[in-house]
Amino acid sequence: MRIVMVHYHLKPGGVTSVIRRQAEALSGRADVLVVCGEPPGTDFPAPVAVVPGLAYDLHREPQWSATETADRIRDTIVRRWPRGCDLVHVHNPTLAKNRLLPEVLGRLQQRGLRLLLQIHDFAEDARPGAYSPAPYPADCHWAVLNRRDYDILLAAGLRPEGLHLLPNEVATPPPGDPDAPPGRHVLYPVRAIRRKNIGEAILLSLFMPPGHHLAVTLPPNSPADQEAYRFWRDFVQRHRLAVQWEVGLRQDFGTLVQTARFLITTSIAEGFGFAFLEPWRAGKWLWGRRLAPVCADFSDNGVVLDHLYTALQVPTKWLDRQRWWNRWQAAVAAAHCAFGRPFDPEAIRAAFQRLADAESVDFGLLDEPLQAEIVQRCLKNAARRDDLAHLNPQLRSVAPPAGAARRTAANAAAVARHYGREAIGRRLWAVYRDAQKPIHQAVDKARLLDCFLDLDQFSLLRWGRWTP
């Protein structure tokens, strides 16, 4: 089987890692060529061809037309295989990182190439800067990372025979220092961007076993995330909380994981969900927030995550209702405008009333200043911590339980069995075989956006701009 993988670039990052692992998993099963817009900075496990018209063009005018770029891709393929390829596997094509890419893909279809479009990130999922109103390519196959995304695209008009589950490989983690003594840190192994819900991790630190501290590995890169990050760093310093920052810049990551008491996750949004699988392969207990739609496939495959909570409830009476409303309605209106969607002010007010009239609200739906109000209440009065533990019984046992080692080993085996290289190689080959069949389908972009812009689950942390 002759497969072409296409992406904007091969710079270090999540999608590049996935492409690398897919190419490695296909070794001996398929002949792979990677086509991207920029030369890779490191060696790659498959031949790489550069077509500059595929690179990001957000801050410049395109230098090549869609026809020229499509011709370059086709010519590159024919030079590699005179009879052409079996399939073109395009990664993250719906993000508006290259304005001409949808047209380029249409030109490739006109030239007889079969396409498989794999979604790692939806622009509709609170990424208006990566959204384009242009239609997505039609009459091609699509692949997604998990059942949540699968169900969303079915609701948006795709057909089961043209939509495929293609999870990521979960690799064996890097080893740590075998002589390092056990630590007293609870590790949150993330770059501290807003959707990782750092405030909730800080709140959990108030319930950790005595003598333990929270350790966050890396700072954010983007300016939008750095302001919120500084907010939490200042908050922690002001209240002298047991939190360490940027430990991954000072210590070996493998050793940090190995010596951690356990790992946590409080993220409110994930693509594939590595955070729910990688700790087990490292032999570590995981605790924190479970994203039920993302984790459904993992549970079906034997990874037991029912000890994780799906919401952390806090009393709505602890919040300044007017302040909450001002921030919420401004964020909802801005989100609709950013995607060019009309909105009904009365519908917005009714949705907020449903949220605010309830006795409690999920902490993950609040933004940083509102979350800080909750944490401050718990710091000022131990009785408030008891109130939270009453609402959220899981807070009474923030530590690995008896039998944790047995559960950890079983989960590690399930992850290796279903998400190891051999399993992913077989899945890739099967998807590639099925994706060569003709299909007639298209994504309804309005219905797709409706799946994400849900006012009853609208998170200020996810959708709102940072404001102090």
**Which pLDDT tens digit goes with each residue over 392-414?**
999 998 889 989 999 999 999 99
Question: Which residues have C-beta within 8 Å of that of residue 394, sequence separation ≥ 6?
Answer: 307, 309
- Report in angstroms the alpha-carbon separations of 457 from 195, 196, 397, 462: 14, 17, 27, 10
Query: Do 72 and 198 lie in a common domain?
Result: no
Whether 48 maps to a domain, the answer reads: yes
Would you say residue 417 has pLDDT above 90? yes
DSSP codes of every residue in 196-236 = G-HHHHHHHHTTSPTT-EEEEEE---SHHHHHHHHHHHHHH
Model pLDDT for residues 90-120, shown as the tens digit of each residue: 999 999 999 899 999 999 999 999 999 999 9
Query: Do 152 and 274 lie in a common domain?
Result: no
User: In which band, very low, low, confident or very high, does the pLDDT at 173 lie, cut at 50, 70 and 90?
Assistant: confident
Number of domains within the chain: 2
Which residue has 């319930």 as its token pair? 207
Rounded average pLDDT over 359-365: 97
The rounded percent of the chain whose pLDDT value lies above 90 is: 89
User: In which band, very low, low, confident or very high, does the pLDDT at 296 lie, cut at 50, 70 and 90?
Assistant: very high
Give the integer Cα–Cα distance in Å for 68 and 95: 21
pLDDT number for residue 74 = 97
- Domain region containing 23: 2-118+137-169+421-442
pLDDT number for residue 58 = 74
pLDDT number for residue 232 = 98
Whether 352 maps to a domain, the answer reads: no
Give the integer Cα–Cα distance in Å for 339 and 119: 19
Would you say residue 60 has pLDDT above 80? no
pLDDT number for residue 398 = 86
Query: Do 153 and 229 lie in a common domain?
Result: no
Would you say residue 316 has pLDDT above 80? yes
DSSP codes of every residue in 70-112 = HHHHHHHHHHH-TT--SEEEEESTTSTTSTTHHHHHHHHHHTT
Would you say residue 41 has pLDDT above 90? no
pLDDT number for residue 218 = 96
Query: Do 155 and 11 lie in a common domain?
Result: yes
Query: String of b and e for 361-393 (b: at least 16 CB within 10 Å)?
Result: bbbbbbbbbbbbebbebbeeeeebbebbeeebe
Closest CA to 145 of 127, 173, 119: 119
Would you say residue 42 has pLDDT above 90? no
pLDDT number for residue 61 = 78
Query: Do 244 and 148 lie in a common domain?
Result: no
Would you say residue 126 has pLDDT above 80? yes
User: In which band, very low, low, confident or very high, does the pLDDT at 64 lie, cut at 50, 70 and 90?
Assistant: confident
Strands 360-362 and 313-315, how do they pair?
Answer: antiparallel
Look up residue 148 and give its amino acid: R
Q: For the chain, give me the number of helices (H) and strands (E)?
A: 17, 14
Whether 398 maps to a domain, the answer reads: no
E strand or H helix at 333: helix 321-338
Calculate Rg over the CA atoms of the chain: 23
Question: Which residues have C-beta within 8 Å of that of residue 18, sequence separation ≥ 6?
Answer: 91, 120, 168, 169
Model pLDDT for residues 178-200, shown as the tens digit of each residue: 889 999 999 999 999 999 999 99
Query: Do 36 and 162 lie in a common domain?
Result: yes
Are 368 and 232 contacting, i.e. CB atoms less than 8 angstroms apart?
Answer: yes
- Report in angstroms the alpha-carbon separations of 260 from 161, 187, 247, 257, 273: 44, 6, 12, 5, 20
Give the integer Cα–Cα distance in Å for 248 and 234: 20
Would you say residue 59 has pLDDT above 80? no
Looking at residue 80, which CATH number applies to its domain? 3.40.50.2000
Would you say residue 462 has pLDDT above 80? yes
User: In which band, very low, low, confident or very high, does the pLDDT at 49 lie, cut at 50, 70 and 90?
Assistant: very high
Cα dihedral 449, 453, 459, 465, rounded to 10, equals 70
pLDDT number for residue 222 = 87
pLDDT number for residue 81 = 97
Q: Mean pLDDT, the chain, as a whole number?
A: 95
168 DSSP assignment = P
DSSP 3-state assignment of 412?
helix
| Least reliable range by pLDDT among 11-20, 150-159, 433-442 | 11-20
Would you say residue 128 has pLDDT above 80? yes
Which residue has 């909802």 as its token pair? 332
Query: Do 9 and 100 lie in a common domain?
Result: yes
User: In which band, very low, low, confident or very high, does the pLDDT at 214 lie, cut at 50, 70 and 90?
Assistant: very high
